[in-house]
Amino acid sequence: MTPPILYIVVPCYNEEAVLPVTSGMFREKLRQLTESGKIAEESRVLFVNDGSKDRTWEIITELSRQDEHFQGIAQSRNRGHQNAVLAGLMEAMDRCDITISIDCDGQDDIDAMDRMIEEYEGGCDIVYGVRAKRDTDTAFKRATAQGFYKLLNAMGAEVVYNHADYRLMSSRALHEFAKFREVNLYLRGMVPMVGFRSACVAYDRRERLAGESHYPLRKMLALAFNGITSLSVKPIRLITFAGFFISILSFIGIIWALITAATGHSVAGWASTACIVCFIGGIQALFLGVIGEYIGKIYLEVKDRPRYIISDRTAEMDAEKEMR
């Protein structure tokens, strides 16, 4: 059996501190896998510069000049982690047999790639890297992350527990995934929709090797909310049920008010009225907000804007593109 061509897709945003360290790790892993006969010599590391404001792109281009196994593409502006991963996968799709997407920070165990490739050789088109435990997280982050996965599953979204974006995908799976045209991306929820045979590989996640995390609480919450609204319509259905329940309560309240007035026991007061008005007003504002979020996503989807724009490629990538 001919060894598969592997492209390691690495999204990068302001990674000048950690890139010189992890690039050597990726290159060494390619060498080990090649010498063991698990992958072909044509395998590459593909860096995706996501509109970095530091020297990330300069480092990528220098790496590509020094070693042909390093390649790079640059987005025209910062589009976010999910779009950067997608750009790398689509760029690599016709150049390789398998891809493995992994973050640049060195937290994901690079040695898990060996087991991912073994699962691919065993017939799997998609292999998910899942965290064996979350010891490196704070108690708050651990609790919120676990709650988020449970919430997604409760909402009807098919996600792999404790999986982020460290995964292997075959070229066949990527070509089918390319048919998904969503602008609002949540890859860890979209990839399971492709189907095909899949497997999970557990690994231990380490601390970031250098630099600072680019996913503060604000971005994590935004990603979580985007995941829920992109993959599930259950929030809309919950609004319907909640509206029905509140309507029943309101109807009961009207009957109670009429009976009270008819029996002459009504008491003039503003507190109860104010509470009811504020409650109904707050619920309406919340419901309209959720509905508005879905309408906003529809608005973005129907525009059919490009999900990424490649502004630059390293020399070897340009040469290959011209040949194709």
Local confidence band at 125 (pLDDT 50, 70, 90 cut-offs): very high
Residue 305 has which token pair? Answer: 């804007």
Percent of the chain residues topping a pLDDT of 90: 39
- 């302001």: which residue's tokens? 14
pLDDT digits (tens, 9 = 90+) for 166-220: 999 999 999 999 998 887 788 887 888 888 999 999 988 776 555 555 555 566 6
**Plot region of 109 (φ>0 → left; ψ -120 to 50 → alpha; else → beta):** beta
- Which residues does residue 33 pair with via DSSP β-bridges, in sequence order? none
- 């309406």: which residue's tokens? 284
Neighbours of 300 (CB within 10 A): 12
Angstrom distance (rounded) from CA 2 to CA 280: 66
Residue 254 has pLDDT above 80, yes or no: no
Residue 115 is predicted with a pLDDT of: 94
Neighbours of 47 (CB within 10 A): 31
Q: Which residue has the higher pLDDT, 110 or 106?
A: 110
Span 31-59, average pLDDT: 93
Percent of the chain residues topping a pLDDT of 70: 66
Neighbours of 315 (CB within 10 A): 13
Residues 120, 125, 128, 129, CA torsion sign: positive
* Phi, psi dihedrals of residue 11, rounded to the nearest 5°: -70, 140
Residue 290 has pLDDT above 80, yes or no: no
Q: Residue ranges per domain, the chain?
A: 6-215+309-323, 234-303
Q: Which residue has the higher pLDDT, 309 or 211?
A: 309
Residue 283 has pLDDT above 90, yes or no: no
Average pLDDT of the residues of the chain: 80
Local confidence band at 92 (pLDDT 50, 70, 90 cut-offs): very high
**pTM confidence score:** 0.73
E strand intervals along 31-102 = 44-49, 70-75, 98-101
Residue 227 has which token pair? Answer: 């995941």
| CATH code of the domain occupying 6-215+309-323 | 3.90.550.10
Report in angstroms the alpha-carbon separations of 174 from 45, 57, 167, 307.
17, 26, 12, 16
Residue 52 has pLDDT above 70, yes or no: yes
